[in-house]
Amino acid sequence: MAQLLGFTLLSLVITALLIVPFIDFLYKIKLRRQDQKTVDLFNKPTPIFDKFHAWKVGTPFGGGLLIIIIVSVLFLWSFGVLNVDVSLWEIFVILFTFISFGVLGFYDDVKKLINGRDNINFFGLRFRHKFILQCLLAVVPATILYTHLGYSFLFVRGLGQVNVGFLYIPFAVFVIVSFANAFNITDGLDGLAPGLLLIALVAFLSISFANVEQSLGLFIAILMGSVAAFLYFNVYKARIWLGDVGSMSLGASLAIIGLLTGKILAIAIIGGVFVLEVGSSLVQILGKKFLKRKILPIAPLHLYFQKRGWDEPKIVMRAWWLGIVFAILGLYLAYYK
């Protein structure tokens, strides 16, 4: 554990040293929120979001790119320093998910930068196209988990390990894509999603250490340090945001971490706030599609509380508190025999 925490500190220090020059770089290339109307995942206008967040125009986004670079380099370098059991397929699953979903998110960030400039219309993807790409990317780690790492079971409390065979692949795809989008939806307030992620990572580090999963624990430890340093600059009022490059990558990676621990129920519980956020949006979407009306006053949940008059830091702090409660509950269920 001491070695893992050492890499957490190293990752934190490196990210802290590089993030200010990186913010200056983002300003230089003008990768920051423009004074324009925003849209949701389905390219629909979001007037209520714009009402509460208009003051954030000019804040740079794309901080997730720095996290991906630092964590990937440190993760690979660490195996030459430490004497740990290495599973090449496990390393591939982690890094492929971490980087590939980041690339897809980076495409969205670059599109925001280029669209509308000098009459340039960068090729854009609708949500259904991005959803298909997400599923295709998720199939790769899901298949490797099943074929090369032997994951074909779900642990259900009271029933033990339930072997689902080939059905594990579509289940894993569902979990990865769901958390990628859940994180993206949750990342709407300063410090909200990174703070919740840090809480979840602490919980999963405990699980991975108890299960003696060295390579996974090392990745979690390094990611914790980088996210912690980023969070310092992302809390209200944020100097930098993750962008889609970060939210897509970190959401999918959280799912992979949960899947690799084998604690299926713990994924949903420890990431409970993310589940509530994406669930509220899904309920709203289904209501509009099938009932032709809104079921909730507004979604996702953090925007609902803003509309009720809660200050942004108050919403974030209470969400973190709820995230801690979910993490404790998830750990209890993971360890309870």
**pTM over the 0.85 mark:** yes
Each residue's pLDDT tens digit, 150-206: 888 877 666 667 788 899 999 999 999 999 999 999 998 999 999 999 999 999 999
> What was the pLDDT predicted at 55?
60
| pLDDT > 90 fraction of the chain, expressed in percent and rounded | 54
Q: Is the dihedral of CA 262, 253, 281, 171 positive or negative?
A: negative
Q: What span, in angstroms and rounded, lies between the C-alpha atoms of 252 and 140? A: 12
Q: Is residue 307 part of a domain?
A: no
Residue 150: partners with Cβ closer than 8 Å, 6 or more residues away: none
One-letter amino acid for residue 272 of the chain: G
Residue 3: partners with Cβ closer than 8 Å, 6 or more residues away: 82
Residue whose C-alpha is closest to residue 303's, from 185, 131, 196, 223: 185
The answer for 290, left when phi > 0, alpha when psi is -120 to 50, beta otherwise, is: alpha
Q: Is residue 283 part of a domain?
A: no
Four-point Cα dihedral 126, 118, 19, 56, nearest 10: -70
Using DSSP, state whether 262 is helix, strand or coil. coil
Q: Is residue 92 part of a domain?
A: yes
Q: What span, in angstroms and rounded, lies between the C-alpha atoms of 48 and 314? A: 18
Q: What are phi and psi of 190, to 5 degrees?
A: -60, 120
Q: Is residue 25 part of a domain?
A: yes
Each residue's pLDDT tens digit, 56-93: 777 888 999 999 999 999 999 988 777 767 788 999 99
Give whichever of 22-36, 38-52, 113-127, 272-286 has the largest mean pLDDT.
272-286
The domain total for the chain is 1
Q: Is residue 66 part of a domain?
A: yes
Q: Is residue 116 part of a domain?
A: yes
Q: Is residue 290 part of a domain?
A: no
Q: Is residue 328 part of a domain?
A: no
Question: Tell me, what DSSP letter sits at residue 155?
Answer: E
Q: How far is CA 262 from CA 232, 251, 258, in A?
A: 31, 17, 7
Q: What span, in angstroms and rounded, lies between the C-alpha atoms of 326 and 337? A: 19
Q: What span, in angstroms and rounded, lies between the C-alpha atoms of 326 and 38? A: 31
| pLDDT > 70 fraction of the chain, expressed in percent and rounded | 85
Query: With contact defined as beta carbons under 8 Å apart, do 270 and 327 qualify?
Result: yes
* Residue-range definition of the domain harbouring residue 120: 2-261
What average pLDDT does the structure give for the chain? 86
Each residue's pLDDT tens digit, 45-64: 556 666 666 667 778 889 99
